Structure 1
Amino acid sequence: MEISKPHSYHPSPAIFLSIWIPYLCYANEVGEAFRALVPVSLVWGSYAVATTYVTADAVDKGKKAALAHGDNPGKTARVAVAVVDTFVWQALASVIIPGFTINRVCAASLYLLGRTTKWPLPVRKWTTTAIGLSTIPFIITPIDRSVDYLLDSSLRKVYGDGEKHK
């Protein structure tokens, strides 16, 4: 599976694209998939992990923008754009929309399994978790593209000069 979530705005590889760190942005989706089986505090903990990743990625992009623009006029604005664009993109594409999507897929599957099968509750919960986990690879690209479109059609128009920040 190709990792497409960590949104890179610069051609140089970020520290956040190392071997395992990008998988942290999937923590909340995994947490949502396991919601039926684990205490809700663990699910919220998975959101904390994903949000920490998102924040760290935004800070990293801001540092790279600061280095790239040196002492040029407009440096502060460029850094702010890099941080805000990265944070908003990541928050939507890595945390909010996928978390909601997996939550609803799992809730619907648990409900449907309860209505259509006589399986014991633990089997239905494990099946729901498997469905949630197996959904993750299929939602990544459509969500990423939708968030790109949303930001290109809204927030990125505010940035001016037409520069694409990805």
Structure 2
Amino acid sequence: MGPPAETDLYRDTWVRYLGYANEVGESFRAIVPISLVWASYGVATTYVTADAIDKGKKAAVCPCSPCSLCCTHQAHEHDVGKTTQVAVAVVDTFVWQALASVAIPGFTINRICAASLYFLGTMTHWPLPIRKWMTTAIGLSAIPVIIKPIDRSVDFLMDSSLRKLYGAEEKHPPS
């Protein structure tokens, strides 16, 4: 049995939930100032960027770290192949996270909430504040339902397009 796997701060801890901040913001759009919704996108985008930087740093680390005088990887900072590996790690992580954690789920929750507010307005005689809170509850409850299908769809999209350019099919971040 090998050494235990290193805990990934951005995938294996509570920090992962920061990537869902914009979905929460979209769920509350009907009852909070729009500036708070945009702030939630700032939190999620910061998470995505930090994860991409982290994956780039991990790709830049010499496999025999820490390097010693006997290491054949001493010049890895200047190695074009290493630079490409780092760039691929950063781009792949950033694009995947931007799509799977920010853009697609944010749009999805926004449309679910807009549709629910509309239908609650046409199908009920509830007061507007109650309809808005119901819309928020619907949006929040949809978040766990949409995550896996969106992640898998983004995996397929990336494997079918961008990853073919740099030969990284099936090497997507764990969800």
TM-score greater than 0.5 by the shorter chain: yes
Say whether 1:115 aligns with 2:132: no
Q: Show CA shifts across 1:90-109 (max 9, x none).
A: 00000000000000000000
Per-residue CA deviations over 1:97-129 (Å, capped at 9, x if unaligned) read 000000000000000000000000000000000
Cα distance in 1 between the residues matched to 2:80 and 2:133 = 56
| Residue matched to 1:25 | 19
C-alpha displacement of 1:15: 2.0
Cα distance, 1:18–1:162 mapped onto 2, change above 3 Å: closer
1:99-114 maps to which residues of 2 (within 5 A)? 99-114=106-121
1:117 partner amino acid: T
Matched, 1:67 2:61: yes
SS in 1 for 2:10: helix
- Runs (4+) of structure 1 moved beyond 4 Å? none
Counterpart in the other structure of 2:94: 87
Pairs aligned (count) = 156
Residues 113 and 138 from structure 1, CA distance in 2 versus in 1: closer, same or farther, beyond 3 angstroms?
Answer: same
- AA at the equivalent of 1:52: T
Name which one, 1 or 2, has greater alpha-carbon Rg: 2
Secondary structure at 1:15 match in 2 = coil
Match of 2:35 in 1: 41
* TM-score, with length taken from structure 1: 0.88
- 2:47 is matched with which residue: 49, 53, 56? 53
Moved more, 123-132 or 11-20: 11-20
Q: Could you tell me which amino acid in structure 1 is paired with residue 59 of structure 2?
A: A
What secondary structure is seen at the aligned counterpart in 2 of 1:16? coil
In structure 2, stretches of 5+ residues that fail to align are 64-72
Structure 1 residues 88 and 162 mapped into 2: Cα distance closer, same or farther (>3 Å)?
Answer: closer
- TM-score when scaled to structure 2? 0.84
> Are 2:155 and 2:172, in contact at CA under 8 Å, matched by a contact in 1?
no
Q: CA deviation at 1:16?
A: 1.9
By relative contact order (CA 8 Å, sep 6+), the higher-ranking structure is 1
How far, CA to CA, are the matches of 2:168 and 2:131 in structure 1? 53
Aligned to 1:12, the other structure's residue is in SS state coil
Task: Give CA-to-partner distance per residue, 1:49-95, whole Å, 9 cap, x none.
Answer: 00000000000000000004651650000000000000000000000
- Distance, in Å, in 2 between the alignment partners of 1:79 and 1:108 is 42
CA distance in 2 between partners of 1:51 and 1:161 (Å): 24
* Aligned CA-pair RMSD: 1.7
Corresponding letter in the other structure for 1:15 = L
The unaligned stretches of length 5 or more in structure 1 are 1-10
How far 1:18 sits from its partner (Å)?
A: 5.2
**Cα distance change, pair 33–74 in 1 and its aligned pair in 2 (3 A):** same
